[in-house]
Structure formats: structure tokens, C-alpha cells
Structure 1
């Protein structure tokens, strides 16, 4: 009976275009019982297109897209040696670039553009989580680096170029240091998202947490509580000043170490939206979306997309992939002021590592 139900679910999803054919031996998600009021209209606009950039010998993560004046699709993404396992991002990630004629690929001209610079640099041991924007006639690649292969030196920096093909000029110092000792963000600044505000200011959203919480002596399984902050500047290259000494999004008071990460902010029809990875508001499988009129005060979250099994057939979970079955690092492709595609990243694929996945966003 269970097999028949899964067959019916599979057939329905494939008929409606919500399931991408793939390998055999998959399991359809049985989480069909989310309250309808918690499911966003955004989730209903998504049509899966499939995986991209499955690179042999690499984990590929955090893919940020942009369209060039000639109509080509450019992506900037993190990658590292697959021999290092999933944890290799913290110690040896590099940022690469690729180009395609369509958002869903195929992508070619894959090349490394930012590699760790070595001792003495703020991005000396890793370059990770790129976020590409075109601001004031300049291509701006925001990213996270560290200098000791650990989380406590994670900082947000900026590389700029007049061409998507480079060369890229990196900032000598991070755009934003960690907060003072004891503050909510004294551990790091990470996972950048950026907008140029309609009033002309430069707004940098970032993830962080508190060091004492991260080094939890009571429960070592709890590694801090991720929250989101905002820093603002009058100039693209800074200095950036915190909007507040408190986070603008904080789920810690809800208990059970609820939190969020991978926030990506964009504008549509005069409203601010943030896509993020859910970490306990609903579960750890779905994404969430928040709305705001001012980019500071945010709504309660709704589900922005579901787990991988809602859209893609996959074989059973390999033992070495602990994040299997969920999408992370949402990044929006904007064209002519509207979101047209969603890029996320997920473990699995033909090399049992990780790769990006693309959705088409239908227009309102």
C-alpha cells in the first residue's frame, strides 16, 4: 500500500512538473501536512529545472547568479577538493566562475577567481559563500573568508571588477569585523547579502552568533544560535556601521535553539523579502521567506520551498552526507527588477558530493 501511495505521488508530481526525473531508488517526502497558512505564495511560483555544475572531484556550494549585458548567465560559486569531505569548506574553499546561455546550463569556462591568499590575509585560508551584485557600474562580489581555518575569523569582504570576467580587486580588510566581546555577534561576520537601498545607502546583511554560546559547556551539540544583523554605509566600500547593537532577526527566544541562516534579501514591487534556510521554525528540511516594508522589521516566516524529495528523485542517503535532502544557500537571480530564478545548493548528485539546483520563478 505504501509503495502504491509513493507511486501515485511520483506520477502526480512528474505530471505537474514538480519532480525532476533522476536516478532510481528514491523516496518521496511524506511531509504533506504543513498548515496551508504557513505555505507562501512564493513557493507556488517555483518550477524545478535541475542540478547544475556537478564537478568531478569537488564539492560545489553557494552559487550566486547574474546576467551579463550580452544575455549570458554568469555564476559564482564555492568549491573544494572532495577528498576533504563536506567539512573542507572551512579550510580550503575557493570561489569559481562559470558561464552559460541559460540559467539551467550547461555551464562552461569554469575557472577559479578567488583562492585563499595565505598567511597574513583576512581571507588567507578560505574563500566561501559568494554573493554577486552590480552596483554603481561595478560588479561587486561579496564573500566570506577566514585566516585560521576556523569560524572565529570568518569575515565578510568585497572583490570588485568592471567585468564579470575579471580581474578582481579584493579588499585589504574585511567590510565588517565581529562585534565587541560579549555582543550577540562577537564571533564572526558571515553569509553576506547586499542591497543598495532606495534612499542611496548601502545595506549589508550578515549572519553571526555569540562565542560563549558557540562554545557551549552545557550541551556541546549546540553550537551557538544564528541570528541576522544589518550594517549600513554611505559608501560601497565602507565603512559599515551596525544599524543596532541587537540582531534584526532573532528566533532564540522561541526555544529549542530555533534559528536561521543563509539569508538572501531582494526587492520586488516595493517590498523587501528574505529567503533563508529554516532551522527549527518548521523543520530543518524547508526554506523560509520573510517580508518587510523597510528591510528592518520582518514578518513571521512562511515556507519558501520544500525539501529536495518534493522536486527531485534521489537514491537513499549516502552515509557520508549528513545534510542530504535539503536545499541551502538560496540566491535570487534578478532581471529587470524582478526575481526570475532561484539558485540553491544540495548534497548528492552523480558524484555523491554537492551541487547547485535551479528553479524558475514564475511571474506574479
Structure 2
């Protein structure tokens, strides 16, 4: 009898644990309105992150950089940043506002932008990968930036001249944060900005870059950061988990995530789901193995009960590289940088992502709309059949 009770209890416990991982974006995502896409005729638009302000309006922090060829003379090899490639040196973080979660959004101001070649700060050029969070009464804007290190790959004859020069910028990427009590403080430039980066490669566990930051308050009240970096002898980059007692650090690395190339991902947006008692992260799948979802570049869902040990969610597919509209499906070359907006109950209410219809690097100096990038909002509908 005792064994029977144990078996029943074990079975019930297993069912409860399994039932907690029941988030299914396929049941929430409906059609999108192509007239609501957020874009600019002059800039590539990327990396959106949205928060509700103290005025009940919705504020989108996003990355943008100018179309066209680079005309600045601070670097004779600036041509490697022409067009879509310009993000690695010329991306800036801008702010847009809307009355509704799904827009339309209108540009307000640029919050963070390049300080120019004469700056000695660690965040000298690119401002990219913004993710805004509100913890208690403070807004935190996480981002990445870089400088320039002329010594990097200086004698590496295996790399082409252009690629080696690109890496002199790319491999100085670090994670920073600014904070403010009101959205209007970001607009006015009255935010608090630490002198040093929040996370950077330690050359012990992590190498080359620290990018793709996402932060959430966890089950234990501490703050968990997932970010991307390089690990020795691993071909693909991997996510890393770090923890801190404060939203703005100091963060201590706990573990890596998914070092197997079959599960390679990037662009995480992480949150702790109190209802389901587990962590989730929306990611871009960066593998052709189809082990997680059926398509390279599709948006996927991963999960963890403790914030350390991660796996594919029970319902791992968020979206293939396509948009469903009333006029039919739009096939995409890119669908990246997912951001999940949570409602007052801590449940997913909207999914934002950066998208392009055709490969933007082939769009020329003045890309048409098909080659330009835009931000799309999937308003999530709990009643969708």
C-alpha cells in the first residue's frame, strides 16, 4: 500500500511539473498587420525592446543605423561598414513611443550614440542590443557597445584583411547598463551611467565578446543575466548565465548553456514565469540540425526550472521565418532579436522581432522596402484557437 501511494504521488508530481511547461506561442500568435511595421526610410531598424512608461504609453528602445556608404574619415577601411554591416560601428539606440502596444510607434529621440574616435571610453562606437526592464521603480536599459583595438589579430595571416579589421571592432564588444526613474529621464539624458561595463569577457571562461544581454528577477529574488560569448574549442558561441543581487551588478558567471552546435542559439529574451514556476527564453535558433525547431533562423523557446540547466521547451517553436497577414504569408530572410513583453500578470502579451524580407546586405546603398529592415509586433491572443 505504501508503495502504491508513493507511485501515485510520484505520478501526480510528474504531471504537475510537466503541466507547468505548457506555454505555446503557436496558440497565441495570430496575423500581423503589415501597415503597423515600424521602419524608417533612412535607417535600418533592429533590436526592439518595449516597456510601459509612467504615463501609460509604450516606449520602444531600438537599434538603428543609417543606410548607405560610410563617409567618415577616421578609418581608411570604413568601407567594411557600408550598408547593413554598419551596425558594428554605427548603430545607435533610439526611442519611439505609441499609445498601444502594437503601435504605431513614432521616433522620439536617440538615447545612446557614438562618441567618436577620440573618446577613451569602453563604449566608444556601436550601441546595440538594447533591452529595457523595470525592476521596482527603476528602469534599466541594458546594451552592448565596442571600441577599437588595433592589436587584435594583427599577425593572423589566416584571416583576410577586411575580416581581421572587422574583428578589431567586433571583438571589443561588452555589456553596459544605464538606469533612470522615469522614461523622460532617458529622453533628457538624465540617466545614471556607470563608468565601467557590466559584463565583459574574463578570458578564463568567456572570450572575445559579451553580447545579447537579457536580465530577469528570478525565483530567489536575485537577478539573472543570460548573454552570449565565445568558449574555447567550441565552434559556435554559447549562452552564459550570471547572477547578481542587484539589477546593475556585479554579475557572477554560474554556467554555460547549450555548447552543442545542434542547440546553438542567439538573441535571447529571458523571463521568469511565476505562474509556471520556470524560466523561459525566446531565442533565434542558429543551427541547421533541426534538433530544437525545424528551421535555421526560426524563433524558438527554451526553458529552465532553476535558471542554470536549460532545455528546449515542451512547445519549442515560436515562429518560422514568416509572417501571416490577411493578404497571405510573407517569407522572410531574417526574423531575429525576439522580445517578449509581459503584462501586469507577468504573462506574455506581445512578441517583437526584427525582420527583413530579402537579404539586407544585398540591398545596395538605398535599399527598397523589401531589403530594408523593420520591427514587427505579434500581439498575443490568449483566446486564439
> Could you state the TM-score of these two structures normalised by the residue count of structure 2?
0.73
Q: Does 1:260 align with 2:281?
A: no
2:356 equivalent to 1:358: no
- In structure 1, stretches of 5+ residues that fail to align are 1-38, 214-223, 318-323
Residue number in structure 1 paired with 2:27: 44
Is the 1:67–1:335 Cα contact (8 Å) retained in structure 2? no
CA contact (8 A) 2:31 2:324 kept: no
- Of structures 1 and 2, the larger Rg is shown by 2
Q: Give the drift of 1:201.
A: 1.1
Which whole-Å CA distance do the structure 1 matches of 2:203 and 2:239 have between them?
16
Asked if structure 2 preserves the Cα contact closer than 8 Å seen for 1:40 and 1:303, the reply is no
Residues 1:76 and 2:97 aligned together: no
Which of 298, 307, 314 is the matching residue for 2:321?
307
User: How far apart, CA to CA, are the structure 2 residues paired with 1:312 and 1:229?
Assistant: 39
Give the 3 Å change call, closer, same or farther, for CA 331–161 of structure 1 in structure 2.
same
- The answer (yes or no) to whether the contact 1:204–1:231 under 8 Å persists in 2 is yes
Contact 1:65 1:132 in 2 (8 A): yes
* Aligned-pair CA distance for 1:40: 7.3
Which residue of the partner structure matches residue 216 of structure 1? none
Q: Is the 8 A contact 2:356 2:370 kept in 1?
A: no
Following superposition, the deviation at residue 152 of structure 1 comes to: 0.9
Q: 1:277 to 1:357 in 2, by over 3 A?
A: same
Alignment of 1:341 onto 2:350: yes
Secondary structure of the residue that 2:309 maps to in structure 1? coil
Tell me if 1:169 matches 2:192: yes
Q: How do residues 1-364 of structure 1 correspond to structure 2 at under 5 angstroms?
A: 41-50=24-33, 51-83=36-68, 84-118=82-116, 119-148=119-148, 150-165=169-184, 166=186, 167-180=190-203, 183=205, 185-210=206-231, 224-244=235-255, 247-252=256-261, 254=262, 259-268=264-273, 269=275, 270-280=277-287, 281=290, 282-301=294-313, 302-311=316-325, 324-336=332-344, 337-348=346-357, 350=369, 352-363=371-382
What do you get for the CA RMSD once the two structures are aligned?
Answer: 2.5
The 1:316/1:204 distance shift into structure 2, 3 A limit, reads: closer
Structure 2 gaps, min length 5: 1-21, 69-81, 149-167, 358-367
Residue 225 of structure 2 aligns to a residue whose secondary structure is strand
Deviations 1:72-92 (A, max 9, x none): 111000000111311111011
- Measured after TM superposition, the shift of residue 239 of structure 1 is 1.4
